[in-house]
């Protein structure tokens, strides 16, 4: 066991004290792990748009002070009672959703929505006792997605921690713990395009580009990238995109534009924006008879999806997916192995890197649309 096991650890964390205000590097206290929990030293973490969305707190109940971050790689420092599959020194990826291994979802080959550990954006405490493990001068600091990786050390439920090959470079494979797996899995595991088929991807952020990469890996013949930002089009070519559509350039609905480009519609569509208008367009742009549309983006709580029932009767299929249908502990280690065997490219997703002391630069890069993924080096 490590020398700090069972003790409170003082460490640096980037604390969000208010919505939309720059994070502040603070010395915080992190309590020991409780039952079924794991305490980790975070070595690398990346900024995901979900962190920014909840930091801005425009579409949900504000919860501050809070430590954000959920895409990361680290090393186990200590484990709580009942944790048998992980030990100090293990290299791990903490993940924002979990796998208890016991519920009906975990026992189903068709689902990765664990009853106990599925994502909960509203919960700022841990499951064991409904309390936070972080504090500063006695004031509790809320967790985010059960991971809170913008901290030198953090705690997560053991079911949300994937043990990986210790030879894998954590500064690269950390991006598999959220965005890349979400987009790639949406295409490969859910849309499942056949070789030579056409795929439209709505939204060319990190998740959308990962969906494009999944289509490229599947051998899609035509990959259409749809985005309102023309600056993203050149970058998207690296991920297999063959055609670009900017809805602003057309007077007719984008689904009609795509249908004309593809002789009646694409074979598969993946929506990665969270815009309900884009969701409708993605569904209505797939070919009748066999077209499949997959929704990935998270909508606002009051959004409604509206389309004519004939679109379903004409044999179009609409699906949703969560974390690319990957089970965190079962499937993510094998994704890491694919990277190690050079079957998976991750470097092209990582466009920026900053030291932990400059974490707010990562927010600037994302808000300006300049980065795909910015990796934050915790020891720098």
Q: Is 174 a catalytic residue?
A: no
Q: Is 70 a catalytic residue?
A: yes
Q: Between the CA of residue 257 and those of 43, 93, 208, 244, 365, what are the distances in Å?
A: 45, 41, 20, 11, 32
Q: Catalytic residue among 4, 97, 100, 187, which?
A: 100
Q: Is 212 a catalytic residue?
A: no
Q: Between the CA of residue 238 and those of 8, 123, 272, 351, what are the distances in Å?
A: 46, 38, 18, 13
Distance CA 141, CA 271 (A): 34
- The answer to whether 307 and 283 have CB atoms below 8 angstroms apart is yes
Q: Catalytic residue among 4, 37, 39, 50, which?
A: 50
Q: Catalytic residue among 49, 116, 235, 377, which?
A: 49
Distance CA 140, CA 138 (A): 6
- The answer to whether 75 and 87 have CB atoms below 8 angstroms apart is no
Distance CA 45, CA 152 (A): 10
Q: Catalytic residue among 29, 56, 103, 377, which?
A: 103
Q: Catalytic residue among 70, 157, 216, 316, which?
A: 70
Q: Catalytic residue among 11, 178, 212, 374, which?
A: 178
Distance CA 320, CA 13 (A): 35
The tokens for 249 are 């350039």
Measured N-to-C along each axis, helices 276-284 and 254-261 cross at an angle, to the nearest 10 degrees, of 30
Q: Is 352 a catalytic residue?
A: no
Q: Catalytic residue among 4, 11, 37, 48, which?
A: 48
Q: Is 100 a catalytic residue?
A: yes
Q: Is 114 a catalytic residue?
A: yes
Q: Catalytic residue among 11, 39, 45, 71, which?
A: 71
Q: Catalytic residue among 118, 143, 216, 352, which?
A: 118
Q: Is 48 a catalytic residue?
A: yes
In the 8-state DSSP scheme, what is residue 357? G
Q: Is 157 a catalytic residue?
A: no
- The answer to whether 90 and 83 have CB atoms below 8 angstroms apart is no
Distinct helix (H) and strand (E) counts, the chain = 10, 17
- The H-or-E segment that residue 91 falls in is strand 91-94
Q: Is 123 a catalytic residue?
A: no
In 3D space, the residue among 199, 164, 137, 172 whose CA is nearest the CA of residue 10 turns out to be: 137
Q: Is 103 a catalytic residue?
A: yes
| Residue-by-residue DSSP string for 360-377 | HHHHHHHHTT--SEEEEE
Distance CA 313, CA 139 (A): 56
Q: Catalytic residue among 11, 66, 106, 212, which?
A: 106
Q: Catalytic residue among 114, 174, 272, 285, which?
A: 114
Q: Is 178 a catalytic residue?
A: yes
Q: Catalytic residue among 39, 105, 316, 373, which?
A: 373
Q: Is 374 a catalytic residue?
A: no
The tokens for 320 are 């949703």
First to last CA, the chain: 26
The residues carrying an active-site annotation are 48-50, 70-71, 100, 103, 106, 114, 118, 178, 373
């Amino acid at each position: 066991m490590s020398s700090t096991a069972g003790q409170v650890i003082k460490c640096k964390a980037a604390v969000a004290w208010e919505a939309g205000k720059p994070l502040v590097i603070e010395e915080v206290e992190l309590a020991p792990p409780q039952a079924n929990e794991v305490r980790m030293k975070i070595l690398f973490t990346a900024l995901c748009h979900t962190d920014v969305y909840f930091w801005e707190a425009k579409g949900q109940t504000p919860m501050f002070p809070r430590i954000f971050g959920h895409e990361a790689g680290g090393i186990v420092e200590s484990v709580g009672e009942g944790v048998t599959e992980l030990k100090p020194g293990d290299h791990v990826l903490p993940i924002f959703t979990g796998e208890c291994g016991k519920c009906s979802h975990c026992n189903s080959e068709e689902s990765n929505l664990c009853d106990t550990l599925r994502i909960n954006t509203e919960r700022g405490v841990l499951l064991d006792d409904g309390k936070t493990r972080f504090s500063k001068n006695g004031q509790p600091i809320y967790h985010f997605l059960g991971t809170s990786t913008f901290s030198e050390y953090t705690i997560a439920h053991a079911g949300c921690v994937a043990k990986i090959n210790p030879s894998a470079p954590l500064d690269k494979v950390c991006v598999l713990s959220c965005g890349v797996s979400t987009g790639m899995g949406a295409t490969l595991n859910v849309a499942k395009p056949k070789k030579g088929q056409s795929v439209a991807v709505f939204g060319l952020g990190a998740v959308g580009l990962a969906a494009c990469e999944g289509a490229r890996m599947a051998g899609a013949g035509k990959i259409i990238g749809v985005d309102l930002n023309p600056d993203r089009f050149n970058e998207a070519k690296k991920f297999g995109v063959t055609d670009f559509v900017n809805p602003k350039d057309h007077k007719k609905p984008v689904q009609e534009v795509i249908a004309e480009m593809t002789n009646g519609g694409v074979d598969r569509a993946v929506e990665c924006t969270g815009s309900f208008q884009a969701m409708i367009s993605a569904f209505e742009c797939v070919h009748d008879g066999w077209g499949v549309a997959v929704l990935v983006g998270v909508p606002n709580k009051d959004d409604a999806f509206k389309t004519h029932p004939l679109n379903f009767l004409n044999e179009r299929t609409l699906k949703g997916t969560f974390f690319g249908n990957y089970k965190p502990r079962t499937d993510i280690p094998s994704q890491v192995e694919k990277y190690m065997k050079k079957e998976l490219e991750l470097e092209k997703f990582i466009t920026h890197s900053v030291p932990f002391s400059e974490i707010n630069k990562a927010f600037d890069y994302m808000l300006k649309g300049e980065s795909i993924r910015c990796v934050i080096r915790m020891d720098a």
